[in-house]
């Protein structure tokens, strides 16, 4: 955003930051959203520097991940790419079994596969089996998938074209703007080739209200735990210099706030911002969810099966890219499932799993990822990304 337009639209900021505060505004990136080294991977993609196997990695690193932790590492060999999970890049008590981290790995795998097919490559994807457990004390990379690559006929896909435009949109949505039936039909068939993944769509208003209430209650319970709050704060990048250094995490620019509030939030002291963010997570979340006309639930037969987590991640990435290609916005809303992990980690009775089973009305499936979609009131901003040379083993 240009300085002039920002000040014109939010002149109060000049009062707020008087006496040296304007300098802080520049120092905190108030006028530099989406710029700097942390955002170069998005620009690298647009410049077309995507040839060879490293080009496939460039696609993979633009995928979604929990709290933008980017838990991936890649080993590139002749004719193959191996995907490794970095257990150190976790969100602690919010993902105590690395279930969501593995879903993020599945998102990266889907981007990589789409890019390979678009470049004219045939693939053999091998997922590493296993069961998820508590976050390991050992922090070495864990192999989760291997992609063998050979030449084939080039096949473009609208989802591939959407890779550089896919961003999580946390702004309010337009609740009364209907989602086109052709999109709903395409979305509902995204998991047709999977035997262990199923996609449930919640459209009727009464069902959505029930699920929003369930999610809001789960959100409040989760963020009443100091360990969850600490895990969340670890990935909050308020300081502009820290953001550019780490190139990951949750940024104020991506919160979906109006421009003035975004600028003001960047000016807040870190401790105050964390308190405000925690309160906002508990108070305004239900309103945001309620503004979306569609809620989706990705379910598997076993939410702690590694392969099924990876497959679920591929479906979410597929869905989000499809939405982006068709002009819709999307956002994860996983608290209802995260509470299942939370209860399990603390040894509590599994109440939340039963509540979710009632929502989907099919006890043979276990929800593992939840999202909502619709038309957003404002465009989403990109999140920072670590460059390829830092994620290749």
pLDDT (tens digit per residue) in 37-85: 999 999 887 776 667 889 999 999 999 999 999 999 999 998 899 999 9
Mean pLDDT along residues 358-375: 94
4 falls within a domain:
yes
Say yes or no to pLDDT of 25 above 80.
Answer: no
Mean pLDDT over 77-95 rounds to: 95
pLDDT of residue 15: 37
Average pLDDT over residues 356-369: 92
CA 165 to chain centroid, in Å, comes to 14
Whether the pLDDT of residue 174 is over 70: the answer is yes
Whether residue 145 sits in one domain with residue 72: yes
What pLDDT is recorded for position 4? 36
Considering only CA atoms, which of 160, 138, 69, 64 is closest in space to residue 106? 64
Structure tokens at 38: 């942390």
| Best-predicted range by mean pLDDT (19-23, 151-155, 176-180, 271-275) | 176-180
| Percent of the chain surpassing pLDDT 90 | 65
Helix axes 205-222, 335-345, angle to 10 degrees: 40
Confidence of residue 19 (pLDDT cuts 50, 70, 90): very low
Question: Is the domain of 57 the same as that of 127?
Answer: yes
Average pLDDT, the chain: 86
The enclosing H or E element of 356 equals helix 351-360
Structural element, H or E, at residue 366: strand 366-374
Q: Would residue 198 count as lying in a domain?
A: no
Using an 8 Å Cβ cutoff, are 193 and 187 in contact?
no
Does the pLDDT at position 32 exceed 90?
no
Ramachandran class of 277: left when φ > 0, alpha when ψ lies in -120 to 50, beta otherwise: alpha
Q: Are residues 10 and 53 in the same domain?
A: no
Q: In whole angstroms, how far apart are CA 95 and each of 103, 196, 205, 335, 341? A: 11, 22, 30, 10, 7
Residue with tokens 């990822």: 369
Among residues 91, 90, 37, 39, the alpha carbon closest in space to that of 62 is found at: 39
pLDDT over threshold 80, residue 290: yes
Helix (H, G, I), strand (E, B) or coil at 146: strand
Q: Per DSSP, what are the bridge partners of residue 296? A: 201, 371
Average pLDDT over residues 327-351: 96
Co-location of 5 and 73 in the same domain: no
| Domain of residue 56, CATH code | 3.40.109.30
pLDDT at 259: 67
Q: Which residues, at least 6 apart from 393, have a Cβ–Cβ distance to it below 8 Å?
A: 73, 74, 75, 84, 141
Residue 187, in any domain of the structure: no
Question: Within a domain: residue 332?
Answer: no
56 and 137, same domain (yes or no): yes
Same domain for 22 and 76: no
What is d(CA 279, CA 172) in angstroms, rounded to the nearest whole number? 17
pLDDT band at 6 (very low <50, low <70, confident <90, very high): very low
Residues 106 and 6 in one domain: no
Per-residue pLDDT reduced to its tens digit, 210-245 = 999 999 999 999 999 999 989 988 998 888 788 899
How much is the pLDDT for 264?
Answer: 66
Q: What is the pLDDT of residue 152?
A: 67
Confidence of residue 276 (pLDDT cuts 50, 70, 90): low
Structure confidence at residue 266 (pLDDT): 60
57 occurs within a structural domain: yes
Phi and psi at residue 85, to the nearest 5°: -90, 135
Regarding whether 103 and 49 lie in a shared domain, the answer is: yes
What region, left, alpha or beta, does residue 30 occupy, with left being phi > 0 and alpha being psi -120 to 50 degrees? alpha
In a domain, 258, yes or no: no
Any idea what DSSP says for residue 135?
Answer: P
Claim to verify: residue 28 and residue 94 sit in the same structural domain: no
Asked if residue 205 has pLDDT above 60, the reply is yes
Asked if 44 and 136 sit in the same domain, the reply is yes
- Residue 309: per-residue pLDDT: 98
Is the pLDDT assigned to residue 1 strictly greater than 80?
A: no
**CA-to-CA distance for 158 and 341, rounded, in angstroms?**
35
pLDDT score, position 50: 65
Could you read off the pLDDT of 100-131 as tens digits, one per residue?
999 999 999 999 999 999 888 888 999 999 99
Give yes or no for residue 94 having a pLDDT over 90. yes
Burial 149-173 (b: 16+ CB within 10 A, else e): beeeeeeebebbebbbebbbbbbbb
What burial class does residue 297 get, using C-beta atoms within 10 Å of its C-beta: 0-12 exposed, 13-18 middle, 19+ buried? buried
236: helix, coil or strand? strand
What is the C-alpha separation between 295 and 39, in angstroms, rounded? 30
Whether residue 6 sits in one domain with residue 101: no
Beta strands in 52-189 (DSSP E): 72-77, 80-85, 121-127, 142-151
Which residues constitute the domain of residue 66? 38-163+383-390
Please say whether the beta carbons of 264 and 273 come within 8 A. Answer: no
On whether residue 155 sits in a domain, the answer given is yes
**Taking residues 140-145, what's their average pLDDT?**
96
Q: Would you tell me the crossing angle of helices 99-118 and 52-60 to the nearest 10 degrees?
A: 140
Mean pLDDT of the region 329-344: 96
DSSP-assigned letters across all residues of 186-211 = HHHTTTTT-SSEEEEEE-SHHHHHHH
Q: What is the mean predicted confidence (pLDDT) over 148-156?
A: 75
Burial of 2 (0-12, 13-18, 19+ CB in 10 A): exposed
Query: What is each CA distance from 255 to 174, 196, 281, 373, in whole angstroms?
Result: 17, 33, 11, 16
Number of domains in the chain: 2
Q: Is the pLDDT of residue 173 over 80?
A: yes
CB 120 within 8 A of CB 330: no
Q: Which pTM was predicted? A: 0.89
Q: Is residue 279 part of a domain?
A: no
- Return the pLDDT at 272: 59
Indicate whether 22 and 45 sit together in one domain: no
């Amino acid at each position: 955003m240009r300085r002039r337009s920002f000040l014109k639209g939010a002149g109060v900021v000049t009062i707020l930051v008087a006496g040296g505060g304007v300098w802080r505004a520049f120092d905190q990136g108030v006028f530099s959203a989406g710029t700097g080294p942390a955002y170069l991977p998005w620009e690298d993609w647009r410049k077309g520097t995507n040839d060879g196997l490293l080009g496939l990695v460039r696609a993979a690193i633009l995928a979604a991940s929990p709290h933008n932790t980017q838990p991936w590492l890649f080993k590139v060999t002749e004719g193959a790419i191996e995907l490794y999970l970095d257990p150190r890049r976790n969100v602690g008590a919010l993902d105590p079994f690395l279930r969501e981290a593995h879903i993020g790995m599945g998102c990266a795998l889907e981007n990589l596969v789409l890019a390979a097919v678009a470049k004219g490559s045939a693939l053999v994807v091998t997922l590493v089996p296993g069961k998820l457990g508590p976050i390991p004390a050992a922090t070495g990379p864990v192999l989760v998938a291997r992609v063998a690559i050979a030449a084939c006929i080039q096949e473009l896909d609208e989802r591939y074209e959407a890779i550089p435009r896919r961003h999580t949109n946390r702004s309010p949505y337009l609740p009364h703007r209907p989602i086109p039936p052709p999109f709903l039909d395409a979305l509902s068939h995204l998991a047709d080739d999977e035997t262990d993944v199923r996609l449930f769509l919640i459209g009727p208003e009464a069902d959505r209200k029930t699920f929003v209430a369930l999610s809001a209650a789960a959100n409040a319970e989760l963020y009443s735990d100091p360990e969850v709050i600490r895990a969340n704060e670890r990935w909050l990048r308020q300081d502009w210099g820290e953001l550019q250094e780490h190139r990951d995490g949750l940024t104020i620019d991506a919160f979906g706030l109006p421009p003035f509030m975004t600028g003001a939030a960047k000016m807040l002291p870190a401790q105050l911002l964390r308190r405000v963010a925690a309160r906002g997570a508990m108070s305004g979340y239900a309103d945001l969810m309620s503004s979306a006309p569609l809620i989706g639930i990705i379910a598997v037969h076993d939410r702690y099966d590694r392969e099924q987590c990876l497959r679920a991640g591929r479906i979410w990435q597929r869905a989000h890219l499809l939405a982006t290609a068709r002009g819709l916005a999307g956002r994860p809303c996983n608290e209802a499932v995260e509470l299942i992990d939370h209860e399990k980690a603390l040894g509590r009775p599994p109440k939340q799993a039963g509540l979710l089973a009632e929502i989907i009305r099919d006890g043979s499936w276990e929800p593992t990822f939840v999202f909502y979609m619709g038309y957003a009131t404002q465009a989403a901003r990109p999140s920072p990304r670590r460059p390829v040379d830092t994620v290749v083993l």
